[in-house]
Amino acid sequence: MKIKRGRETVVFQIIAMVVLAVCALISVLPFLIIISGSLSNNELISREGYSILPKQLTPQAYTTILRIPESLLTAYRVTIVNTLVGSLTGLICMSMAGYVLSRKNFRHRNIISFLIYFTTIFGGGLVPWYIMISNTLHLKDSLLAICLPLIMSPFMIILMRTFISNNVPDSLVESCRIDGAGEFSIYLHIVLPLIPSGLATIGLFLGLMYWNDWYMSSMFISTPAKFELQFYLYNMLSGFEAFKQMNTASVTESVSIPSETVKLAMAVFVTGPIILLYPFVQRFFISGITIGAVKG
Amino acid sequence: MKRRNALRGLIVMALAISPALAALTSCASSGQGAATQPPAASQATSSQTAEESAETSAGPDVSQRVDLEFMMIGDGPKDLDRIVGMVNEKTLEKLNCTIKWNYTTFTDAMQKYNLALSSGQNLDLIYTAPFQNYFQLAKSGAFHSLNEILPTYAPELYAFVPEGHWKGVSVNGNIYTIPCTYKQYLCGGFIYRKDLREKFNLPVPVSMDTIEAYLLGVKENMPEQLLTNEFPMAGVYQFNFSAINVLSMNHTWANDVIYGIAADYNNPNQLTDYWNSDQFVEEMKLMKKWADMGFWSRSALSSVEDMSAMENGKTIARLFGGTVNSVSEYNAAVETTHPDWEFDIFLYSDINKVVYPTHPTQDGIAVPIASKHPDRAVMFAQELIMDEEINLLTNYGIKGEHYDVDADGWYIPLQDPQTSSFPWDGMKSWAWRNPVYMLFPKTDQYKIEMYAKFDEVAGYNYAAGFQEDYTNYQTERAALGTVMTQYLQPLHAGLVEDVDAAVATFREQAKLAGLETIQQQYTEQWLAYIKSLE
């Protein structure tokens, strides 16, 4: 049996589809231009500008990059390892911190919560932070320097705490203790399985933060083999601009200028994997956003 | 999510105030330096070690092994580690020290300099240049003064660099950086496609009229072809439209007419007010004529610099001060893609006879105040510049693998320059180029010939050594900047209806902005500077 649809519903659906189609087109167009540009002839782009369909199809940009794929692959490896290690460690640390802070019988929890919260309002600023990491911790040019600073985020700890105290009743923890469970096994076997969507949310936040990070590389890394992917790209694109500005008043020395098409091909290489990953992660991502919206 | 954004906002804010930060950090650096290691104390220790070594042996004491760090801007080559390993082998043996090069990349290079120098992190050598705020950093005490260390620990280098260079890099009588002695020349010129000139039988551009005839000729024969890609230059107080560089051939300016004040190159004490002269009106009329002839686009004021426009055939000429260096580069760039193209340059200095080299501060190596071993750092710098093997290795890589030298002494790359693991200049070795050992690719032949000619006639680069202090007229200067963008830029680009009226409006607005105050104070400073040179 069919439910009869009213005229207005049909009209609304048509309008909605048209509007959505236009929106989708607007979102997809830049990608199309990037992809078609990366397949075009560089001289034509410079002379006539970009177009939606490639002019003079040529894989030249890709072959240029793939002639020396090592540096790109190294950057990929750094970012992937960093994202995995950082997100996992971060999840463990923050869920533990959140759990401890959610326990009502933890004596100084208010003070400690406040201290964690305090850092979101007042920070030392860039210079002390830099001195801390480079001179006190001696992490300059170490992979730890791009991993450690992002591991703990006050906001996410507080989010985690709220999430745990809302989803894990105190009585459950108490009865576990009566049954003889130790603190760590309560955390591991009782609390963690109860908060999968909380972990997914924080994990996604962290994962995206690590994947998109370039600033840590820029600040602390001087060995190109330790650059994150995003910085590798950013540096390639911005480096020449900066160089040009510095040198407006002096002799331009030979600096190889990446051609337009090579830049675009790089963009394809960098965005490609994360776009392919999206359909699989999207499910969690949507639930993650709702959690953030309600509990944040 | 919100707070994460807030955090990011903080970082963005921090970045935005980085100029202020630069000022702050430079203060901090002097404070820090004083706290951790007072310059006086360090000099005491160095002279002490000198005495000790003088007692025990003839050379300086190198019994303690030192690991030096060298901060550079830009990106290093792929084979950096191998080359550094080879350098270290030699320096360990000779100076008992190793070196590590740290490249900042070009991204936020200035901010990284400020952080590294102010945080007191361990650094022994650093690349300096005017665009990396050499003078400001030197004044704020970021570097060791080398006056006493150099003659003691690097006598060979000290003697090698000419006296004028040491004087040029001095700040308040202190040498803070070791200047590069390779001379480069900045005189601008009109770069154009020589093959088109021959094809259409056009006159050789050797003056304003012939430039005009050449461009008109190309336009007639190739009506669809865009001639030049001239663009507005933001934030400068000299010419703020690129094409205006062509006018320099009519003048003997020493300072690029900043604030409309033109110092005469042959007599730098003599200043004239260019913006209020009749010649200014005449020349703006010429610019309008050229704009009306279509020498640059009607939307030129919104275009941006495009270095590869000529290589790609988008444009065929460039009024904006190309150097002889750029001609070599353009010719090298089209060598394989368009072998029938050829670029040539008409130097504006052929007319006005003003040629000057880059300032000694252009490229240099300084010793940051945080360095615990300024003596060894200077000794290493001497090796880097004076030792032929190390110098060639760090400039061009390994002979037989990265490059070779042909029978005539030209540099021949053995790998594709785009992907080479050590291209020419791979280590951004600008600061330790030694003219005695330098190698050039054959495409540089023209540049070398021209530089040799310039060597005979060149004078002093007045403008680059002048450190303007505009704290007293900061407000007026900012107001003038706005006026220049609004009224002078369209004049320069010839995009006004009536030149006389537009000039009158510009003069009036500039006066309202406080041009007279600026000019007066600038003149005082400039004259004092010229006096200090004598």
pLDDT at A290: 55
Give the DSSP H or E segment for A150: none
Count of domains for chain B: 1
pTM score: 0.76
- Say if residue A22 is exposed, middle or buried (CB neighbours under 10 Å; 0-12, 13-18, 19+): exposed
Location of structure tokens 């809302």: A166
pLDDT at B83: 93
Q: Is B191 a member of any domain?
A: no
For every residue of B306-327, which 3-state class applies, written as one string?
CCCCCCCCCCCEEEEEECHHHH
CB pairs under 8 A between A and B: 135
Contact (CB, 8 A) for B340 and B195: yes
CA dist., res. B138 & res. B99, Å (int): 23
Contact (CB, 8 A) for B472 and B521: yes
- Say if residue B306 is exposed, middle or buried (CB neighbours under 10 Å; 0-12, 13-18, 19+): middle
Given this structure, which CATH class describes domain A70-295?
mainly alpha
Nearest CB among A135, A235, A244 relative to B105 is that of A235
Contact: B107, A248; criterion CB under 8 Å: no
pLDDT at A229: 87
CA dist., res. B347 & res. B511, Å (int): 34
pLDDT at A7: 85
pLDDT at B434: 92
- State the nearest Cα–Cα gap between B395 and chain A, in angstroms: 13
Average pLDDT for runs of 10 along chain B of length 534: 46 44 39 37 42 50 89 87 93 92 85 88 91 88 93 93 90 92 84 91 92 92 88 81 88 85 89 92 93 89 80 86 77 83 88 86 92 93 93 92 91 81 85 91 84 85 84 90 91 91 94 92 91 81
- State the nearest Cα–Cα gap between A23 and chain B, in angstroms: 25
Phi then psi for A138, rounded to 5 degrees?
A: 50, 50
Give the DSSP H or E segment for B44: helix B39-56
**How many Cβ atoms sit within 10 Å of the Cβ of residue A88?**
14
CA dist., res. B471 & res. B22, Å (int): 16
pLDDT at B48: 43
Nearest CB among A46, A130, A238 relative to B115 is that of A130
Contacts of A242 in chain B (CB under 8 A): 106-109
C-alpha angle with apex A255: A253 to A260, nearest 5 degrees?
140
Contacts of A154 in chain B (CB under 8 A): 3
**Mean pLDDT, chain A, as a whole number?**
82
CA dist., res. A60 & res. A81, Å (int): 30
Contact (CB, 8 A) for B184 and B358: yes
Domain boundaries, chain A: 70-295
Contact: A250, B2; criterion CB under 8 Å: no
pLDDT at B510: 93
- State the nearest Cα–Cα gap between B226 and chain A, in angstroms: 9
Contact: B186, A250; criterion CB under 8 Å: yes
Contacts of B237 in chain A (CB under 8 A): none
Contacts of A246 in chain B (CB under 8 A): 73, 106, 109, 129, 131-132
**How many Cβ atoms sit within 10 Å of the Cβ of residue A146?**
27
Q: Is B436 a member of any domain?
A: yes
By 3-state DSSP, what share of chain B in percent is helix, strand and coil, each rounded to 5? 50, 15, 35
What tokens does B114 get?
């400020």
pLDDT at A284: 61
pLDDT at B6: 47
Contact: A239, B464; criterion CB under 8 Å: no
User: In this predicted model, what pLDDT tens digit does every residue of A98-126 receive, in sequence order?
Assistant: 999 998 888 888 999 999 989 888 888 88
- State the nearest Cα–Cα gap between A10 and chain B, in angstroms: 37
Write out the residue range of the structural domain in which residue B123 sits.
49-184+359-440
Identity of the residue numbered B487? Y
What is the length of chain A?
296
Contact: B326, A252; criterion CB under 8 Å: yes
Q: Is B311 a member of any domain?
A: no
- State the nearest Cα–Cα gap between A246 and chain B, in angstroms: 5
Identity of the residue numbered A176? C
- Bridge partners for B357 per DSSP: B185
Identify the closest residue of chain B to A69 by CA–CA distance. B419
Contacts of B28 in chain A (CB under 8 A): 127
Contacts of B107 in chain A (CB under 8 A): 218, 231, 234-235, 238-239, 242
What tokens does A225 get?
């083999």
Contacts of B233 in chain A (CB under 8 A): 248
Instruction: List the helix and strand counts (H, then E) for chain B.
Output: 22, 14
CA dist., res. A225 & res. A211, Å (int): 17
Q: Is B363 a member of any domain?
A: yes
Nearest CB among B312, B358, B419 relative to A250 is that of B358
Contacts of B109 in chain A (CB under 8 A): 242, 246
Q: Is B67 a member of any domain?
A: yes
Q: Is B135 a member of any domain?
A: yes
Identity of the residue numbered A77? R
- Say if residue A54 is exposed, middle or buried (CB neighbours under 10 Å; 0-12, 13-18, 19+): buried
Contacts of B323 in chain A (CB under 8 A): 251-252
Contact: B130, A234; criterion CB under 8 Å: no
> pLDDT at residue A253 above 60?
no
C-alpha angle with apex A69: A63 to A73, nearest 5 degrees?
140
Contacts of B102 in chain A (CB under 8 A): 141, 222
Nearest CB among B4, B107, B120 relative to A242 is that of B107
Nearest CB among A46, A240, A244 relative to B309 is that of A46
Say which CATH number the domain at B60 has.
Answer: 3.40.190.10
Identify the closest residue of chain A to B256 by CA–CA distance. A249
User: Which of A121, A127, A202, A245 is best to mutate for the B interface (most B CBs within 10 A)?
Assistant: A127
What tokens does B89 get?
């082998």
ipTM of the complex: 0.71
Q: Is B243 a member of any domain?
A: no
What tokens does A24 get?
């989708």
Contact: A46, B115; criterion CB under 8 Å: no
Q: Is B222 a member of any domain?
A: no
Contact (CB, 8 A) for B313 and A43: yes
**How many Cβ atoms sit within 10 Å of the Cβ of residue B390?**
22
Contacts of A219 in chain B (CB under 8 A): 112, 115
**Close Cβ partners of B363 (under 8 Å, ≥ 6 residues apart):** B127, B128, B129, B179, B180, B430, B431, B433
